[in-house]
Structure 1
Amino acid sequence: MQSSSTAASEPALAQPAPVRRLMSLDALRGFDMFWIAGGEELFHVLAKTTGWAWAIFMADQFTHVEWNGFRPYDCIFPLFLFMAGVSTPFAVGGRLERGVSKGELARKMITRGLILVVLGIIYNNGLFTKPISDMRFPSVLARIGLAGMCAQLIYLYFPNPKVQYAWFAGLLLGYWAAMKLIPVPGCGAGILTLDCSLAGYIDRSVLPGRLYLKVHDPEGLFSTIPAIATALLGIFSGQLLRSDGRSAHRDQKTLWLVLGGISCLVLGYSWGLVFPINKNLWTSSFALVAGGWSILMLALFYWIIDVKKISGWAFFFTVIGMNSILIYIAGEFIDFEYAAKFFFEGILSFFSEPIRATGAVVALLAVKWAFLYFLYKKKVFLRV
């Protein structure tokens, strides 16, 4: 991990780092991280303080489905992993063209993937102050690190697109077959419940420490297999966008992204009839549905920002996207809420409860954004 005082000439490999030739990617990453950083609280606060029907509806959409099903908020994490894949052809492809060896690139991919695993452990548990039995080892960062790393290695060592597609299909079909056919002791085969799924059983058997849901972890080890396919979808999209940079072909690329996203949605929702769409298990149908929506969001941002060159509005999100990993981790070490109260509590005290509550969320987001803007102006970006 390093902090650079100058803009990096190349994006990092193990996380969705900025890609200069694709402005829409930074904006989309920032849009995604905006909700992770607390943007969804706007709807929850409005729903709680006003009772407005539309606010209640939106607040519900910004919660995770308890088990089977899909809501927009379930796409937040897969979208981030998908974008790690999109950046790969730009980062790795450019280095390969400059003669960097595959061995050197592979070492960097593995190192950065493992660094994200360690950062995830620290994010969950602090600086190793807990006994191992109380520590949670799976994490969002670990999944990004491991799944992204594996997808990048596939891209590196299997450059033939047909072979990459075979990997993609094999990962999803193989995970489906394993989850449906391999019996779990005391439960049997194909029972996709919290207590009886194969993914949960394997995680309970091999992972040290505690699991997030006691008997299951949504970022567990076995369910990383289909998450690799999520990152591969991003790589496929990145390869399309990196090919033939002539502006005349950009509308065509947008169309291909839209068709690809719709195809994934049709396949995913159809597959969900026999293999339920489930984020906790990261089922193959979930990978396709979340991937389909991710591709469509990339297509929208790409068409607006890179094709139509309407980019001024995206600066707010770009500032967030340039330091996405940093703002995700920083909340564990920086008291942004204290700063927000210090600057805004006095002003908000003059207003009614709904305005105060909503204003507190806006103030917190403003403080976080100001922190990122300061780093942006100083050209300080966290690279992993």
Structure 2
Amino acid sequence: MTEITTDPSVLKKRLLSLDVFRGITIAAMVLVNDPGDWGHIYAPLEHSKWNGCTPTDLIFPFFLFMVGVSIVYAMESKLQTVSHSKLILRALRRMGLILLIQYTIQLLFHPVLSHLRLPGVLPRIALVYFICTVLYVKTSQKTRDWLFVIALVGYYIIMNFIPVPGVGYANLEPETNMGAWLDRLIFTPDHLWSQSHTWDPEGLLGTIPAMATGLFGIRLSTWLKRKDRDDSTKVSWMFTYGAISVAAALIWDLFFPINKALWTSSFVLYAGGLATIGLSLSYWLIDVQGYKRFTWFFVVFGANAITAYVMADFVPHYLSMIHGDAKGNPFYHAFFLNFLSPINASLASALFIVLAVWVVMWVLYRFKIFIKV
């Protein structure tokens, strides 16, 4: 069930750099999801066409990385006081609630059950959160490290060497890879990504490496919480881990391309390495050195991350109705396009939506309301 707390001690227990890093990720997610015009977008704010990686491609794995980090900070102290079965049951309920939110939003905006998209961003977050929670509660860090390796190597073997039924050979093309075949078999084409109905960028098989992204966050969080290392040592090794991971990803990219839509193993290492570097930098500047003056804007997003993501669906929808058009961003045509070039007007419209969502989140933050889904 949804838990709403106004206890100020909740925020004090949080790692500030974690909320800031997660807040930056959520703000970026809203920015790239709500341009004024999809035909006029700066290249870094678009997903890569297939292989390769843009800054936009990093947003989702950064969030899943932070899910892993958050699991440790939320549950470490509870492992000794709360039964494991109760912790897993709570995680199962949370997964179910996130799925319910996703499908309810879809049906509110597109009330056609026969074409309900079953995979998606929130379903992947829900599955990764639940799987990683179970693994954190029930396994040791050594076991999780082995599972991380097995997931990445196993996914590489499945995608590159097992023939795809109906195709006859393994491949990494959008509509004919093993993941696309499995999604059509289990979900049926009518319940996949609306633009193609032949494959889905958040498909079922891709949950395996996405889980590894969450385990990456758990590994970094357990290191960050160690009491036998000083902060300088922690940050130095985090930078080292991140750099090694990125280097390994670039090597693996030569024969298993970095690809966000397929969530390839090289993509896991690449995004995880960059997330590690980003989090270590945030931790050093904010929590160690105390540079906190400009953090409040992103903390507002990070303290209610899932709520902000959900509001990013509702706020543009209801703002657009002011202009009498429930489709798209009306401010692009009605205001920004009168003063700016099409591409800058599109960006300005997206920034306006970010600010509008932030205002809603600020109200919750101002009254110390933290919604735990």
Q: TM-score, normalised by structure 2?
A: 0.87
Aligned residue runs from structure 1 range 308-347, under 5 A: 308-334=289-315, 335=317, 337=319
Residue in structure 2 matched with residue 376 of structure 1 by the alignment: 365
Q: CA deviation at 1:361?
A: 4.3
How is 1:73-152 mapped onto 2 (pairs within 5 angstroms)?
73-97=56-80, 99-126=81-108, 129-132=111-114, 134-152=115-133
Q: Distance in 1 between matches of 2:171 and 2:54?
A: 23
Residue among 140, 144, 151 paired with 1:164 = 144
* Structure-to-structure mapping, 1:199-210, within 5 angstroms: 199-208=179-188, 209-210=190-191
Deviations along 1:242-295, one digit per CA (max 9) or x if unpaired, are 11187xx11211111111111111111111111111111111111111111111
RMSD: 2.9
- The amino acid across from 2:83 in the alignment is S
User: What's the CA shift for 1:139?
Assistant: 1.1
CA distance in 1, matches of 2:321, 2:144: 48
Amino acid at match of 1:216: W
What displacement does 1:364 show? 3.2
1:304 partnered with 2:285: yes
Moved more, 362-371 or 60-69: 362-371
| Deviation, structure 1 residue 41 | 6.6
Asked if the contact 1:121/1:138 (under 8 Å) is kept, the reply is: no
Q: Which residues in structure 2 correspond to 1:179-190 (within 5 Å)?
A: 179-190=159-170
SS in 1 for 2:126: helix
> 1:125·1:136 contact (CA, 8 Å) conserved in 2?
no
Letter in 2 for 1:295: T
Question: Is 361-370 or 219-228 further displaced after alignment?
Answer: 361-370
- The Cα shift of 1:131 comes to 2.8
**SS of match in other structure, 1:275:** coil
Who is 1:241 aligned against? 224
Give the percent of matched residue pairs that are identical in Structure 1 and Structure 2. 32
Tell me, yes or no, if the aligned pair for 2:152 and 2:265 is still in contact at 8 Å: yes
Comparing 269-278 and 121-130, the one that deviates more = 121-130
Q: CA deviation at 1:368?
A: 2.0
Cα separation, 1, equivalents of 2:8 and 2:228: 22
In structure 1, C-alpha distance between the alignment counterparts of 2:199 and 2:207, rounded to whole Å = 13
CA contact (8 A) 2:336 2:348 kept: no
8 Å Cα contact 2:5/2:371 also seen in 1? no
Counterpart among 138, 155, 176 of residue 156 in structure 2: 176
| 2:371 aligned counterpart, secondary structure | strand
What is the CA–CA distance in structure 2 between the aligned matches of 1:315 and 1:337, rounded to whole Å? 25
* Residue type of the alignment partner of 2:221: G
List, as ranges, runs of 4+ consecutive aligned residues in structure 1 with deviation greater than 6 Å.
39-42, 347-351
Aligned residues of 2:107 and 2:113 also touching (Cα < 8 A):
no
Distance 1:350 1:228 in 2: 42
Q: TM-score, normalising length from structure 1?
A: 0.85
2:278 counterpart letter in structure 1: M
For the 8 Å contact 1:277–1:286, the answer to whether it is kept is yes
Distance (Å, rounded) in 2 between the aligned partners of 1:32 and 1:158? 29
Q: Give the SS at the match of 1:331.
A: helix
Alpha carbons of structure 1 residues 329 and 350: separation in structure 2 relative to 1, 3 Å: closer
SS across alignment from 1:66: coil
CA shift for structure 1 position 27: 0.5
Q: Is the 8 A contact 1:5 1:378 kept in 2?
A: no
Which of 177, 199, 204 is equivalent to 1:216?
199
Alignment check: 8 A CA contact 2:34 2:353 kept: no
Query: Unpaired segments of 5 or more residues in structure 1?
Result: 11-17, 49-55
Q: Does the 8 Å CA contact 2:238/2:280 hold for their aligned counterparts?
A: yes
Whether 2:279 is the aligned partner of 1:292: answer no
Mapped partners of 1:279, 1:290: distance in 2: 9
2:17 aligns to what? 24
8 Å CA contact 1:179, 1:189 repeated in 2: no
Cα distance in 2, alignment partners of residues 253 and 84 from structure 1: 20
**Aligned partners of 2:112, 2:345: CA distance in 1, in Å?**
38
Say which is worse superposed, 75-84 or 60-69, in terms of deviation.
Answer: 60-69
Once residues 152 and 104 of structure 1 are traced to their aligned partners in structure 2, the CA distance between those partners, rounded to angstroms, is 12
- How many equivalent residue pairs? 359
Cα displacement (A) at 1:23: 0.6
In structure 1, the residue corresponding to 2:361 is in which secondary structure? helix
- What residue in structure 2 maps to residue 192 of structure 1? 172
Structure 1 residue 122: deviation in Å? 2.4
Rounded to whole Å, the distance in 1 between the matches of 2:23 and 2:61 is 14
Looking at structure 1, the residues matched to 322 and 61 of structure 2 have their Cα atoms a distance apart, in angstroms, of 30
Q: Using a 3 Å threshold, how does the CA distance of structure 1 residues 358 and 331 change in structure 2: closer, same or farther?
A: closer
- Which secondary structure does the structure 1 equivalent of 2:191 belong to? coil
Read off the aligned partner of 1:260 and give its amino acid letter: Y
Match of 1:153 in 2: 134
- Using the TM superposition, give the Cα deviation of residue 351 of structure 1 relative to its aligned residue in structure 2, in angstroms: 7.6
Does 1:352 pair with 2:339? yes
